[in-house]
Amino acid sequence: MKITKSQLQEIIREEIRLVIERLSVETKELKIFIDNDNKLYKQRYIPIIKNLSKKKKSGRYRSSLASKGFMYLVDDGAKKYVREFGGNVRDVFPRRVKLELAKEYAKEFEQIYKDQEFDFMK
């Protein structure tokens, strides 16, 4: 059976779509895990948003660096996830997945700050 060029392109597009869906599912899974872990919330998330809130108030906030700050939370969450469920951090959560989640947390922070959800943001 011979595959035409257009059929091959369609197969490649389908594979890329499946990879993208898989990555977004992994990202969602890690976010849910991090959001529901009390220790990560108290020891990483709250200090990060307090720090970013101070930077927002003083006018030194940069959204590109906010995602870098959230990478500490995401890395710790990925390590803890792998300890509990097995696997290798690099295989289960590639850097691109962790970076995507860190950017999502930065966007979430900007909305939280805008809504003044915590007392220290006022």
Domain boundaries, the chain: 27-121
Tokens of 53: 């809130």
Which residue shows structure tokens 């990555």? 23
Helix ranges (DSSP H) in 36-117: 38-40, 46-58, 63-85, 89-92, 95-115
As a whole number of angstroms, the distance between CA 63 and CA 90 comes to 25
pLDDT in tens, the chain (122 residues): 677 778 767 776 776 566 455 556 888 889 989 999 999 999 999 999 999 999 999 999 998 899 999 999 999 999 999 999 999 999 999 999 999 899 989 989 998 898 888 888 88
Tokens of 10: 């369609």
